[in-house]
Amino acid sequence: MNHSIYSADRTTHLKIVVVALFAAIVVAGVGIVARLGADDSVQTARVIKAGKPVVLTSNGSMVR
């Protein structure tokens, strides 16, 4: 058995490419399925309005 990728034959390289391609397709498929299964209502934009100005003092916070 040859343990070097440089001196491997053509079929060994082809097997490695096929396995890597299959693994990439599986990872992409899992990512797509996970994204489609997510609840889209969680990612709604929230508007934050400015309130009254607050000044921090040594005694605590004071609202002006």
User: Number of folded domains in the chain?
Assistant: 1
Determine, yes or no, domain membership for 3.
Answer: no
The predicted-structure confidence for 4-59, as pLDDT tens digits, reads as follows: 777 888 888 899 999 999 999 999 999 888 887 666 555 667 777 888 777 766 76
Its pTM stands at: 0.51
Chain mean position to CA 31:
9
How many whole angstroms separate alpha carbon 26 and alpha carbon 23?
Answer: 5
pLDDT of residue 37: 66
Determine, yes or no, domain membership for 59.
Answer: yes
Determine, yes or no, domain membership for 2.
Answer: no
Beta bridge partners of 47: none
Determine, yes or no, domain membership for 34.
Answer: yes
Host domain of residue 34: 10-63
Q: Is residue 60 very low, low, confident or very high in pLDDT (cuts 50, 70, 90)?
A: low
- Positive or negative torsion for Cα 10, 13, 14, 15: positive
